[in-house]
Amino acid sequence: MRGTNKMFEIIMTDKPAPEQFKLTCVDDGVEVGSCICTIYDNSLAKVMIIDNLKVDEDKRTGLGTLLLYKAFGMAKKRDVDCIELIMRASNYYIKKIYDVMGCEKVDKEYWRKILNVK
């Protein structure tokens, strides 16, 4: 990622509950990766769902991991207890990222990372 002109733009939607925003990675003014984050309280825990993580195939140089680190940081700032991640079972690349990030597989398409134990 060194030597590139990558920057994040956080796009917040106007939905008050649940809170939802899109993280976008931009390279020279062009979107090359993004994910959608939704935070809600299920009465047992504050949960963030990270969905629709995508990175342009020719830009797969750590952008997915960078997007997740940014999303995880935002979750911690918002006192999220648990992060749930959704993926297609056939997406080998994202499975590797989830493993590296310390997420556990819950079932075929869902992974989880516990941040705060109550």
Domains of the chain: 6-114 (3.40.630.30)
Which of 94 and 76 is assigned the larger pLDDT?
76
User: Closest by alpha carbon to 37, among 76, 81, 100, 85?
Assistant: 85
Element (H, E) at 17: none
What one-character DSSP code corresponds to residue 29? Answer: T
| Mean pLDDT, all residues of the chain | 81
Look at residue 14 in the predicted model and tell me its pLDDT.
54
Q: Is the model's pLDDT at 3 over the cut of 50?
A: no
User: Closest by alpha carbon to 66, among 111, 5, 116, 24?
Assistant: 24
Which range, 29-33, 75-79, 92-96, has the best average confidence (pLDDT)?
Answer: 75-79
Model confidence at 2, pLDDT cuts 50, 70, 90, reads very low
